[in-house]
């Protein structure tokens, strides 16, 4: 997987370095279908998931460290950067859907999107399904926040919640039922609205049920979007496992 | 709370602007005991919690917008920045301790620290207790990630876990029991180790029990530190409420 060249890159005009730099922008990621993953942990996660790299540059071996730092999206100290093809899971369909997935609607913070990709990989059998207005899960911050789970459980994407063939449970801080009380059999998709605006009328209308995560009366109105997704997946996954 | 001056600040050499800029650095925050909160949501959270501002600068009212942007730690578009005194909760002591708190050991990412401050405010009655090596909860990124909960439930700090007078439940992905199985009566402090290194031998030795959050065998080894804290607080808080 490593760069087969035995010559150390010493010029910032090197094509691979230029490609990594361009992949910091969404336009180039969308155009090429590629993305960059930074750090030895992520490159190991890619290998573990069988995701072949277009190339990997290791500082001090393949490239002068300062040149790799200069194209890093995450600040200095990157010891390795790999370029990979974006992979996308199919959204849950009628044919043997996963028991539990999560749908994000206009969740715009890449750290939140990456954190949910990680949580879904740990807590449920289905992918994170990204609706309109979500941050790119292949942006540097989202890939980093996923801690490699974009490789292990690639996200899915849809044009809207109506494309998902499963019972939708929309999280709503004002719902009457809690996530521990609501009764929905698998397949279930937990639906999360935008960080500030919450659920859209469309998402609300297409949901089979709404539920809240119980929070303290002296606390904030709600959890952060990623934390809410993780807690809901934990609760529902736990109960599904108990039923099985 | 707002700046009583009726004169618009038009110079980057203004003392208030200089102070906000300096508060981006930990040294100045430690020296002064102050911090800056950015954004109207956070300033509203401060008011709701009764945290008086030293001053608040509103773009277009108190200061030229470009000058406020120039001292923002979070990029352009800040419409208001307030300067506040740091507040610290007492760590749980022998005298009527909270039923449930969370301790972070060397959790170095400010976004994680802020996310746990938020989750604790929502899910438990005790504070986030910060041990050695943690990110400053009053750094701009942590304050932003707390979504104002640093005002509503100020963090506590200790020199080490031995200073906490409560039963400690340390999260360990390799523990035999799950957080849903372990039996510990309140007061309980959920303990989280560093993002990469996990629990130190000292923390492990001082814990009354260890437990894991169950994750899928085909998933990652563990959840992100903040997500793990949130899920554990949810599970334990839920069970404590059921017992009451």
Helices (H), chain A: 15-22, 26-32, 40-48, 65-71, 110-123, 140-145, 149-152, 201-206, 225-243
Residue listed under structure tokens 């500082």: A59
pLDDT above 70 covers a percentage of chain A that reads 97
More reliable by pLDDT, B93 or B107: B107
Please say whether the structural domain B15-85 has been given the CATH code 3.30.1330.30.
Answer: yes
**CB within 8 Å of B149: residues ≥ 6 apart:** A219, A220, B45, B117, B118, B120, B121, B122
Other CB atoms within a 10 A radius of the CB of residue A210 amount to 20
**Three-state DSSP class for residue A135:** coil
Query: Do A227 and B118 count as a contact with CB atoms less than 8 A apart?
Result: yes
Mean pLDDT to the nearest integer, B161-188: 93
Q: How far apart are CA B204 and CA B91, in angstroms?
A: 19
Instruction: State how far the Cα of A124 lies from the Cα of A139, in Å rounded to an integer.
Output: 23
Q: How far is A126 from chain B (nearest CA, A)?
A: 11
Q: Is the pLDDT reported for residue B140 higher than 90? A: yes
Q: What are the residues whose beta carbons fall under 8 Å from the beta carbon of A117, sequence distance 6 or more? A: A128, A137, A142, A145, A146, A149, A150, A153, A155
Over residues B35-40, the mean pLDDT reads 96
Cβ of A147 under 8 Å from any chain B Cβ?
A: yes
Cα separation, A39 vs A147, in Å, equals 10
Q: Which residue has the higher pLDDT, B42 or B95?
A: B42
A42 pLDDT tier (thresholds 50, 70, 90): very high
Which pLDDT belongs to residue B5? 52
Average of pLDDT values for B185-199?
A: 93
The separation between the first and the last C-alpha atoms of chain B, rounded to the nearest angstrom, is: 41
Supply the angle between the helices B225-243 and A110-123 in degrees, to the nearest 10.
60
For the ranges A22-31, A166-175, B29-38, B88-97, the lowest mean pLDDT is seen at B88-97
User: Residue B104: what pLDDT?
Assistant: 98
Q: B107 with B4: CB under 8 angstroms?
A: no
The pLDDT value recorded for residue B244 is: 40
Q: How far is A221 from chain B (nearest CA, A)?
A: 8
CA distance B205 to chain A (A): 27
Structure confidence at residue B7 as a pLDDT band (50, 70, 90): confident
Please determine, for residue B6, whether its predicted confidence score (pLDDT) is greater than 70. Answer: no
The model's confidence at residue A2, banded by pLDDT at 50, 70 and 90, is low
Query: Percentages helix, strand, coil for chain A, rounded to the nearest 5?
Result: 35, 20, 45
Contact between B104 and B129 (Cβ < 8 Å) = yes
- Within this chain, domains A15-85 and A100-243 share the same CATH topology: no
In this predicted structure, the answer to whether residue A3 has a pLDDT above a threshold of 90 is: no
Higher-scoring residue by pLDDT: A25, B93 = A25
Instruction: Give the pLDDT of residue B2.
Output: 52
From the list A119, A180, A220, the residue facing B152 with the nearest CB is A220
Q: Which of B75, B173, B230 to mutate to test the interface with A (most CBs of A within 10 A)?
A: B230
The yes-or-no verdict on residue B76 having pLDDT over 80 is no
Tell me which chain A residues have a C-beta less than 8 angstroms from the C-beta of B122.
215-216, 219-220, 222-223
Check if A173 contacts B (Cβ < 8 Å): no
* Least confident residue range of A116-125, A189-198, B92-101: B92-101
Kindly state whether B89 is in contact with chain A, defined as any CB-CB distance less than 8 angstroms.
Answer: no
Q: How confident is the model at residue A241 (pLDDT cuts 50, 70, 90)?
A: confident
Q: Residue A138: how many CB atoms within 10 A of its CB?
A: 28
Calculate mean pLDDT across residues B4-32.
Answer: 92
Across the interface, whether the CB atoms of A219 and B115 are under 8 A apart is answered no
> If we measure between CA atoms, which residue out of B199, B229, B193, B198 comes closest to residue B213?
B229
- Nearest by CB: A125 against B216, B220, B227: B216
pLDDT on residue B93: 82
Tell me the backbone φ, ψ of residue B170, rounded to 5 degrees.
-90, 130
Minimal Cβ distance to B119: which of A119, A153, A227? A227
Q: Where are the domains of chain B?
A: 15-85, 100-243
Contact B121, B54 (CB under 8 A): no
Nearest residue of A to residue B213, measured between CA atoms: A234
Which pLDDT band, with edges at 50, 70 and 90, does A5 fall under?
A: low
As for the ipTM of the complex, it is 0.93
User: Counting Cβ atoms within 10 Å, is residue B55 exposed (0-12), middle (13-18) or buried (19+)?
Assistant: middle
Q: What percent of chain B has pLDDT over 90?
A: 86
Give percent of chain A with pLDDT exceeding 90.
85
Beta-ladder partners of B210: B170
Q: Which CATH number fits domain B100-243: 3.10.450.50, 3.40.1280.10, 1.10.287.3510, 3.90.1010.10?
A: 3.40.1280.10
Q: What's the pLDDT tens digit per position in A148-160?
A: 999 999 999 999 9
Cβ-contact B142, B113 below 8 angstroms: yes
pLDDT value, residue A28 = 97
Q: Would you list the DSSP string of chain B? A: ------SPB--TT-HHHHHHHHTTSHHHHHHHSEEEEESHHHHHHHHHTT--EEEEEEBTTTB-HHHHHHH-SS-S---EEEEEE---PPPP-SSS--SEEEEESS---HHHHHHHHHHHHHH-SSPEEE-TTPPPTTSHHHHHHHTTHHHHS--EE-SSGGG--SEEEEE-TT-SSBTTT---PSSEEEEE-BTTTB--HHHHHH-SEEEB----TTS-SS--HHHHHHHHHHHHHHHHHHH-
Lowest mean pLDDT among A19-33, A63-77, B121-135: A63-77
- Hey, is the C-beta of B238 within 8 angstroms of any chain A C-beta? yes
Q: What is the mean pLDDT of residues A213-238?
A: 94
pLDDT at B207 exceeding the cut of 90: yes
Tokens 């409560």 found at: B166
Residues 6+ apart with CB under 8 A from B99: B124, B125, B126, B186, B187, B188, B240
Q: How far apart are CA B120 and CA B146, in angstroms?
A: 10
The pTM for the full model equals 0.93
Task: Check CB contact of A195 with chain B, cutoff 8 Å.
Answer: no
pLDDT at B147: 93
CA–CA distance, B185 with B182 (Å, rounded to integer): 10
């Amino acid at each position: 997987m490593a760069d087969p060249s035995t010559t150390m890159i010493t010029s910032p005009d090197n094509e691979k370095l230029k490609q990594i730099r361009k992949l910091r922008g969404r336009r180039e990621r969308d155009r090429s279908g590629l993305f960059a993953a930074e750090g030895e942990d992520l490159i190991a996660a890619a290998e573990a998931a069988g995701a072949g790299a277009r190339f990997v540059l290791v500082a001090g071996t393949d490239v002068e460290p300062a040149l790799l730092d200069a194209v890093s999206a995450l600040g200095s100290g990157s010891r390795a950067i790999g370029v990979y093809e974006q992979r996308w899971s199919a959204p849950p369909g009628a044919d043997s859907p996963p028991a539990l997935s999560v749908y994000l609607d206009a969740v715009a913070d890449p750290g939140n999107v990456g954190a949910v990709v990680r949580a879904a990989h740990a807590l449920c059998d289905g992918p994170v399904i990204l609706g309109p207005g979500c941050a790119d899960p292949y942006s540097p911050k989202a890939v980093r926040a996923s801690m490699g789970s974009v490789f292990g459980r690639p996200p899915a994407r849809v044009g809207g919640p109506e494309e998902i063939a499963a019972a939708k449970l929309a999280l709503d801080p004002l719902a009457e039922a809690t996530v521990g009380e609501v009764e929905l059999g698998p397949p279930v998709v937990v639906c999360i609205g935008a960080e500030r605006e919450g659920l859209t009328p469309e998402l609300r209308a297409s949901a089979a049920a709404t539920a809240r995560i119980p929070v303290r009366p002296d606390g904030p109105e709600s959890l952060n979007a990623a934390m809410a997704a993780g807690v809901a997946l934990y609760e529902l996954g736990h109960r599904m496992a108990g039923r099985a």
